[in-house]
Amino acid sequence: MIKDISEQVLNEWLENVRPYAYDGQVADYIPALGRQNPEDLAVALHYLDGDTVEAGRTEVRFTLQSISKVISLALALMDNGEEYVFDRVGMEPTGDPFHSIYRLEQIPSKPLNPMINAGALAVTNMIHGATPDEKVGRLLSFVHDLTDDHSIGYNEEVASSEFETAFLNRSLLFYMKQHQIVTGSVEETLDAYTKQCAIEVNVCQLARIGALLANEGRDIASGRRIIPKHLARICKTFMVTCGMYDASGSFAIKVGIPAKSGVSGSVLASLNDFGGIAVYGPSLDEKGNSVVGLKLLETLSNRYDLSIF
Ligand code: GLU
């Protein structure tokens, strides 16, 4: 296992990528996200033996946004089984932007994968729970198990800011309801989804989730199984094929580490034989990926030859 990355080295790398902090733009289509500070940069590593290294503003909390799609997928698979989930959501990358409605018009009219918004909304719809709050409560307990941290909640301001403006996501849900991919109330599923996306963590908590996925679904400290091994593998495979939006191909070539990004500017990476890596840098490139996150992961991968390919 590679373990010679000191805090000093990590700090140096973070300073090297700092000039990129203003290269992209902070997401503002969810109004509350527009208030993030592009200079809040942080990175954390969580090794398979439980050791951690961190640098930057690691105390800053951010919302998971699309990274939550990996977590909701794991829970929906545990709730419903693979057959049920993949009857309704596909396994193929799209090459389209994450909120695209275009492919839903193709027959069969099901979302191509669980990492785009259509697929993720369908996945949230499948999570067991009679009400949105019950679903979100179950998701939060799952996140508490994944991080061993019961203080984690969701940011109400970000959740309601997205709920009030999520007209595209509403359209995707209505479309899927027409085609019986989702059931029940569109507003209730959107309520659960926006709260799921607004779950708030810091890089250290996120890196721990990456380490658990790398450890085949077992918590590193206790050895407790939180996600079945074959489901952890499915999650990591989706991170490779569609985790970085429609830049997943170039990311696989340049970095080669299973990773999922979110429009808050965070990236969760998970590498078997290494552990978890989390980066936060709110400025996004045109595809929606953290500019600093990409640069830092590329440096790390090249320096330590971490690509899985
Ligand atoms: N809540 C966001 C949305 O649905 C998540 C998108 C993302 O992080 O890619 O638009």
Question: Which of the 8 DSSP states describes residue 308?
Answer: -
- Residues 268, 67 contacting (CB under 8 angstroms): yes
Its sign, for the CA torsion 241, 247, 249, 254, is negative
Rounded Cα–Cα distance for residues 290 and 281 (Å): 6
Mutate which of 29, 30, 171 for ligand 1 pocket (most atoms within 8 A of beta carbon): 30
Q: Pick from 97, 108, 265: which is nearest to 169 by CA?
A: 97
The residue assigned the tokens 């941290």 is 149
244 ligand 1 Cβ < 6 A: no
29 is an active site residue: no
- Please state, in angstroms and rounded to a whole number, the distance separating the CA atoms of residues 117 and 78: 20
φ, ψ dihedrals at 272, nearest 5°: -55, 145
Q: What is the pTM of this model?
A: 0.96
Atom of ligand 1 nearest to the CA of 194: 1
Q: For position 125, what pLDDT does the model report? A: 98
**Active-site residue flag, 102:** no
End-to-end CA distance of the chain: 17
pLDDT mean by block of 10 residues, the chain; 309 residues: 83 95 94 96 97 98 98 98 97 79 73 94 98 98 98 98 96 94 97 98 98 98 97 98 94 98 98 97 96 97 95
Ligand 1 centroid, distance to 239 Cα (angstroms): 15
In sequence order, what DSSP letters do the residues of 50-80 get, joined into one string? S-EEEEE-TT--EE-GGGHHHHHHHHHHHHH
CA 73 to chain centre: 10
Residue that has been written with the tokens 């191509």 in this structure: 112
Give the ranges where the chain is alpha helix by DSSP (H): 7-17, 68-80, 82-88, 117-126, 132-147, 156-165, 167-178, 186-197, 203-214, 229-242, 248-254, 291-304
Q: Specify the pLDDT at position 93.
A: 87
Angstrom distance (rounded) from CA 91 to CA 283 = 29
Q: Is 246 in the pocket of ligand 1 (CB under 6 A)?
A: no
Burial 5-17 (b: 16+ CB within 10 A, else e): beeeebeebbeeb
82, 76, 162, 267: CA torsion to nearest 10: -80
Q: Are 283 and 21 in contact (CB under 8 A)?
A: yes
- Residue in this structure with the two tokens 């309801």, named with its chain if needed: 177
Yes or no: say if 243 and 250 are a contact pair by the CB < 8 Å rule. no
| β 266-271/275-280 pair status | antiparallel
- Pocket residue to mutate for ligand 1, from 162, 164, 200, most atoms within 8 A of Cβ: 162
Distant-in-sequence, close-in-space partners of 35: CB < 8 Å, separation ≥ 6: none
Phi, psi of 297 (to 5 degrees): -70, -35
98 lines ligand 1 (CB under 6 A): yes
Q: Please tell us whether the domain made up of 66-197 is placed in CATH 3.30.70.120.
A: no
Q: Please name which of 284, 266, 300 lies closest in space to residue 69, comparing C-alpha atoms.
A: 266
Contact 210, 268 (CB under 8 A): yes
pLDDT of residue 236: 98
